[in-house]
Chain A
Amino acid sequence: MSSRSGGRVLHRVLVPRGAMIATRVGAVLAPDQAIGHWDRPLPPIRIDAARQLRCRAADLPGLMVASAGVRVQDGAVLARAPSGREVVAPASGWALTASRDGSILFAPAGAAETIIAHVRGRVRAIEEGAVLVEVPGARLPGIAGSGTAVHGELMLAVSGPDDELRATAIDTAAAGKILVGGSRASAEALTRARAIGVSGIVLGGILDKELREFEAAGQRRRDAGGASDPFGLLLLEGFGKVGFDPLLFGWLSAQAGRMASLSGADRLLYVYDAPAAPVRRALPQVGERVIGCRRPFQGRTGVLVAILDDLHAAPNGVLTRMALVRQEEGRLVVAPLANLEAMGTPAGR
């Protein structure tokens, strides 16, 4: 069942272990605000410690002062010989191990990477590995996502819920925005969006192959040392060409211009200061508007006319509870009840 709450919702901003958190409980965060920093480890160096201590290589492990793997500051003593000679850390970092060849494997800490909140709200708690933020706005869960956490102004990029997002529809005005696409976006459209500097895209459907191609292209660019522009993608309905739920598309259209945050990994979109989004609910009742969640009715909407008594077989023989749906175009179809969700506004159905 979908949760599309308005009001205030809690969001976890994950932080790597070892990160320095630079916020506090009660602090009010902006999406682009830093909440801490993390020193990404640099390639390790080998310190010829036995030579510096003038000891036998095999004796080095017994002379270590710094524990293996514990973070030390620049100049901290790593090892000390009985003579008083010392080996000190050449930088802040981690002494990973003292080898029997007389060397210390030391991983220096690199330049601090800023950890951005990417959500707006008030810090409710700081936990191990996460900062818990209370977000004022509506939360829209997706069924799949990709990419990093991003934020930007919500912008409509298609005119209808069944329209495809074309590469030609994305221009420089979309830079920094979160685009509301349509029933599909090609790998070309995604690549163009990322190149232009679009923050993220919300889609009804996408071909799995095109999503994977887009992700693979990004990975190749990162592997080649290219810049990794933040970009997030959220999928709301299903894989393939699948239109938006029209109610939801209407709601997103009404929110255009509002600030939003998209987290591909968490499959979430937050729209700030927005009223609650249309709800989706499992087990629809007769008379409710429904949307299909699986082929051949995926993304198709209609009204639930009846739930058939007892179990009935789908065309492939699967026995299940079936429902009669009058689709928007007037056609009456039979679909598994498990493949339908009720659509409605939060206040009522």
Chain B
Amino acid sequence: MATAEVSVLVDRGSTWTKASVVGQTRGRWRITAHAAQPSSWGDDDLLEALVRRLEPAADQRLAGRLRGLLADAPRISCHTPSRAGRLAVASLTGELSGAAARSAAEGAGWVVQEAVAPDDGRGIAERLAVLQRAPVDAWLLAGGFDDARSDQALELAGLVRAARDGTTAPVIWAGSQLMAAEVAACFEPGACTAVANPLPAPDIEHGATLRRHLEAMLEALLEPGGVRALTPFGFRRAVAELSRSQRLRILAVDLGARYASWVLADGDGSAEGWVQASGGIATSPHGGGSSAARIVRWLPVAADELTVRDALETYRARPVTLPYTDDELAILHAAVRGVLTAHRPALPPGGIDLLIGGGRTIAAAPTPAQAMQLLVDGVRPTGAFQVAIDPTGVLGPLGSLADGEIGEGMAELRDDLLTPLGAAVVCRGGRPGQPAMRVSVRRAGWPALPPIELRAGQVQVVELGPGQVAEVEIELDAEVSLGGPRGGRRLSATLTGGSVGLVLDARSTPPLVPRRSDDRRAVLGSWRDAFARETAPRASGTSESPR
């Protein structure tokens, strides 16, 4: 951490820049001011905004000197990559090897410009033509299980070599290992690298090695000097450090206009990351007008598909702008939910301890309840877990510190890093309308609540303030699961509250909604309202305030 009295943490996004002033208050480092504004407004205005936030609270002896202090303060910065790596994928099948290769590439920060496969409905000539036109930085070939040999793989290699036409973009073979040497021989020496097959056998999918290889290639292409200063990688490093220091299994998402970064950290310091250059709200097809019909289904307000399409496409064209009306915000949030659901990674069987949401749409949602609902509805992990947001966007800049400094920096800012929204217990399964789980909540210093019975399809929020701890006993119906080992019908958890409280969620995954639009909107509206207020039954004859 910088030794000066003041430091500035900056996350320069593709559309918005977030900046936080870190200063010493009573001997401790705290975030003392924060500003977020369009990146196009420039550094001067950002500095002015920080000064304006700082002035009311700053020592009056510093009046008039704040701007100079901030301008000279050490900066810890990260930024969204200026451009994404462009890839063409050629595979033996579109749905098997093609999908696995594409998934690995898109999780490593590449944008797939063109994907071809013999089963894509196009002839060889057309496939060759589209590949010749595709502007790419690298080529990815995939197909065949590891023990399979196929002439089609060589045909694929010939097709890509024809499309490359003597250019030098690297080629990756991520298919049958039996074919690796033959495929590599189709290219000039050193051009083709074989990487572990993401689909080595019919029932095994393992894209992590390919994803890491592609990520390393992308780093060399975009930031040869190191990727620490790139926000997606900084975010990952910070989450990994948080997971290591707190020994928590964390799932974190930083959802921006262009990029989405997902991190799954297992508590021992190792973290899997997915950097999606087309996973942002303005770039993901799941957030666009083509998904309008699906998005309309998740709107608690009446809006026709035409309105939704135009609102979404305007946002995609001008992602720096902000929704102004309730309807526009509802449309944006429904799109965010769709994007989160589409890109969330598979979770380990043990579930997670903490879910973190970053990016302005989530972390700067107008109310904490909206942020909580976006995360719980969009990511939908099952189990009992804490939920928090990164409201100032400091995880990215802190993760850009050198290895030896991240832990120190995050420890110093521990009280300001995340804003706890509370906790959630999310189950899956159950028959509509039938009891799903019975939850007993014991809060230290509060009168005991009667057990809360939730029927499948219900969601309820119990008051549990920031820092307040509750012992939660959960009794599950026979057809309901929390994602843990089978047969575990009684579970207990210690959960800590936040600005929203404790969410008890017995909706299915994905939540079932009525087909009739009026009924559907009524149900969606009731869920929205449930997140926005505490609805736990009061213990009879007692006041709902702490003793």
Contacts and interface: CB of A to CB of B under 8 A. Distances in A.
Contact of A105 (B158, B164, B305): B158
A49 to B, nearest CB: 14
Interface string B145-166: 0000001001101111111110
A127 to B, nearest CB: 11
B322 A17 contact: no
A17 B306 contact: no
A107 interface: yes
Interface string A269-287: 0000000000000110000
A307 to B, nearest CB: 11
B128 A94 contact: yes
A42 B324 CA distance: 53
A338 B321 contact: yes
B448 to A, nearest CB: 35
Contacts of B312: 208
B317 A315 contact: no
A131 B181 CA distance: 36
A95 interface: yes
B324 A294 contact: yes
Contacts of B329: 316-318
Contact of A282 (B41, B161, B326, B366): B41
Nearest to A242: B314
Contacts of A99: 151, 154-155
B52 A310 contact: yes
A282 B40 contact: yes
B322 A107 contact: no
A296 interface: yes
Contacts of A42: 125
B408 interface: no
Most chain A beta-carbon neighbours within 10 Å: one of B52, B310, B312: B310
Given A43-B124, A239-B314, A316-B366, A105 B324 contact: no
Contact of B306 (A209, A283, A293, A319): A209
Contacts of A316: 323-326, 328-329, 366
Interface string A120-132: 0000000011000
Contact of B323 (A14, A94, A298, A318): A318
B477 interface: no
B40 A283 contact: yes
Interface string B216-234: 0000000000000000000
A240 B314 contact: yes
B273 interface: no
A44 B124 CA distance: 7
A247 B431 CA distance: 61
Nearest to A110: B125
Interface in B255-313: 289-290, 305-306, 309-313
Interface string B239-268: 000000000000000000000000000000
A110 B123 CA distance: 14
B365 to A, nearest CB: 8
A69 B162 contact: yes
Interface stretch (B129-137, B196-204, B412-420, B499-507): B129-137
B471 interface: no
Contacts of A41: 124-125, 128-129, 132, 162
A339 B328 CA distance: 13
Given A71-B165, A208-B310, A296 B324 contact: yes
Contacts of B159: 69, 96
Nearest to B127: A41
Interface string A284-326: 0000000001111110000000000110011111111100000
Contacts of B154: 68, 97-99
Given A17-B167, A97-B151, A296-B324, A43 B125 contact: yes
Contact of A43 (B123, B135, B323): B123
Given A43-B124, A316-B328, A319-B364, A294 B158 contact: no
Nearest to B288: A208
A18 B313 contact: no
Main secondary structure of the interface of B (DSSP, over half): helix
A339 B315 CA distance: 11
A41 B133 CA distance: 12
Contact of B321 (A94, A129, A144, A336): A336
A198 B308 CA distance: 30
A315 B306 CA distance: 22
A250 to B, nearest CB: 23
B537 to A, nearest CB: 28
Most chain B beta-carbon neighbours within 10 Å: one of A71, A96, A101, A296: A96
Nearest to A94: B162
Given A1-B40, A16-B132, A295-B325, A319 B366 contact: yes
Interface in A58-117: 67-71, 94-101, 105, 107, 110
B186 interface: yes
B494 interface: no
Given A94-B128, A95-B158, A295-B314, A69 B164 contact: yes
A99 B152 CA distance: 9
Interface string A154-195: 000000000000000000000000000000000000000000
B124 A315 contact: no
A69 B157 contact: yes
B128 to A, nearest CB: 4
Contact of B158 (A17, A97, A143, A314): A97
B367 interface: yes
B135 A293 contact: no
A147 interface: no
B318 interface: yes
A43 B123 CA distance: 7
Nearest to A335: B324
Contacts of A321: 37, 49
A315 B326 contact: yes
B316 to A, nearest CB: 8
A315 B322 contact: no
A14 B135 contact: yes
A101 to B, nearest CB: 8
A317 B157 contact: no
Interface string A211-244: 0100000000000000000000001001110000
Nearest to A113: B129
Contacts of A256: none
A258 interface: no
A37 interface: no
Given A94-B128, A320-B322, A336-B321, A283 B186 contact: no
B189 interface: no
Nearest to A38: B132
Given A69-B160, A71-B165, A212-B289, 10 more contacts: A18-B162, A41-B132, A107-B128, A143-B317, A207-B309, A209-B289, A238-B318, A294-B324, A295-B314, A309-B52
24 contacts: A14-B133, A17-B132, A18-B165, A40-B129, A41-B132, A68-B154, A68-B161, A69-B161, A69-B162, A69-B163, A96-B155, A105-B124, A143-B317, A208-B306, A238-B310, A240-B310, A282-B40, A294-B324, A295-B311, A295-B314, A295-B324, A314-B322, A318-B366, A319-B366
Interface of B: 37-38, 40-42, 45, 49, 52, 123-125, 128-129, 132-133, 135, 151, 154-155, 157-165, 167, 186, 289-290, 305-306, 309-314, 317-318, 320-326, 328-329, 364, 366-367
Among all A-B residue pairs, the 8 with the closest Cβ atoms: A69-B161, A317-B366, A96-B158, A68-B158, A143-B317, A69-B162, A240-B310, A208-B309
